[in-house]
Chains A and B, each alone.
Chain A
């Protein structure tokens, strides 16, 4: 089954404790992206990757890191989480970012609470 998986689905942590949210896709997509979703603000892009070893900042990259060592995986790293990073996070993958045939497939989401 074609899918994007994220782990963990739910996470409660404390300020400053490094964490990683994993994202994996099995569709051989080149483009992968991370979004955060907050009430009233919609989906905001954190980082994206056009291909292996190619990553770039989205609209809200502060406090986050990513890596793309393999095509299928695109982990999101919070080196020192803070309460303002409490949010719902989505990973997405697609052939590209132009839409249409390059439609994005989203993972199930990760709910993060930083105390």
Chain B
């Protein structure tokens, strides 16, 4: 069975630009969460979506937004990129909001 997939694998942007990251959950999973992992730290929770509704939000600025589509895939959008947004962005999916999460390989974003 296919696991969580994310695209693109790598991305390079400049300060002030906008970026969209994509995630496809494991088949049958209805909940998606996004995490940011900067170098040397553990992943930090950004958003959770379940059945297309936001179910949780971490301590991130309004420049970060996300949505979930009817097929349960999800997009993470970041506006007005800063150098500090350079990180590995991880998507995790689960069947229901309280179930075990399974992570994708991540998207490596570099902001120059």
A binds B: no
Binding site for B on A (CB under 8 A): none
On B, residues with C-beta under 8 Å from A are: none
